[in-house]
Structure 1
Amino acid sequence: MSDTPAFVLPDSLAEIRDEFLELPESDRLQLLLEFSNELPAVSDEVATHPEMTERVAECQSPVYIYLELTDGAVTMHATAPAEAPTTRGFASILAQGIAGLSPEAVLAIPDDFPQSIGLTRVVSPLRISGMTGMLMRAKRQVRTRLAAA
């Protein structure tokens, strides 16, 4: 028996993944663009204190994230420019999919989740790398918040 946590995709992200995979590959980019319009607004605290956020260097566009832990639930705040709709869509997928999860559930998200949603032939590898960077930084921030608690 191993002490390594099982990597299990939370229902929220599994539903998003399935929504993409149910579409023909040619329609998946449109769904990603729809997600870009649904990026949740950051909290007033994060909006007035942008220094709380962390730049996701793997993204060509200026993407900033901040994860908070409140009463055992994770919230991901993300900003991405409207001029970068695919990147903004990826940020939205993660922000919506992570919302309300426990820290342990966030840490158990498979690292290859960005590759699993059926967009690897629709968007550039650089964009997929950006989403992977967002996920890795989100996990690191969760680990940091847990260690500080």
Structure 2
Amino acid sequence: MTLTPALQQTVDDFHAMEEQDRLQLLLEFADELPALPPRYAEHPDLLERVAECQSPVFLFVEVDERVHVHATAPEEAPTTRGFASILAHGLEGASVEQALDVPSDFPRLLGLDRVVSPLRLRGMAGMLGRIQRQLRAKGSPL
């Protein structure tokens, strides 16, 4: 298993808490989802919808020398926003290789299985899968 340092820190933070407190930490991440840059906020057609999520989640990945994940999720869907925030923060600045090495079962590593529905965990896995698919489609920068 290979995680970016930021994702590993997030996993460690979740496991340092009692299981019943992990949902609160997820909700705190929801408040930290970065706003979309204006170039995407003004052109939502550039974002890809994550169909695996119950809530309307959209994302776009940029690659220069590093990975930059931009995502949006409704405020009334805090768990979904939390998952998007974890991925946006956890992959920010990673190399393409590091981002592609994140295992598809990453959502389960957070230890939220008994406090978040399997459907929501699949939504986060869907976000990660789409991020990795976009990275593969873009290839490495020249």
Partner of residue 55 from structure 2, selected from 61, 64, 81 = 61
Partner of residue 115 from structure 2, selected from 94, 113, 122 = 122
Q: Residue 9 of structure 1 aligns to a residue in which SS? A: coil
2:3 is matched with 9
Report Cα offsets for 1:22-72 as digits up to 9, x if no partner. Answer: 1000100000000000001111111111111000000000000000002x1
CA distance in structure 2 between the aligned counterparts of 1:145 and 1:34, rounded to whole angstroms: 32
1:4 is matched with none
Matched, 1:19 2:13: yes
Matched, 1:89 2:59: no
CA distance in structure 1 between the aligned counterparts of 2:11 and 2:55, rounded to whole angstroms: 23
Instruction: Name the % identity.
Output: 55
Q: Residue 66 of structure 1 aligns to a residue in which SS? A: strand
Q: Is the 8 A contact 2:30 2:81 kept in 1?
A: yes
Partner of residue 108 from structure 1, selected from 96, 101, 111 = 101
Q: Residue 133 of structure 1 aligns to a residue in which SS? A: helix
Q: Residue 131 of structure 1 aligns to a residue in which SS? A: helix
Q: CA RMSD in A?
A: 1.2
Shift of 1:148: 8.3
Shift of 1:147: 6.8
CA distance in structure 1 between the aligned counterparts of 2:141 and 2:91, rounded to whole angstroms: 20
- How many corresponding residue pairs? 142
Q: Is the 8 A contact 2:66 2:95 kept in 1?
A: yes
Gaps of 5+ in 2: none
Tell me the amino acid that sits aligned with residue 54 of structure 2: Q
Shift of 1:8: 1.0
Gaps of 5+ in 1: 1-6
Tell me the amino acid that sits aligned with residue 122 of structure 1: V
CA distance in structure 2 between the aligned counterparts of 1:49 and 1:143, rounded to whole angstroms: 23
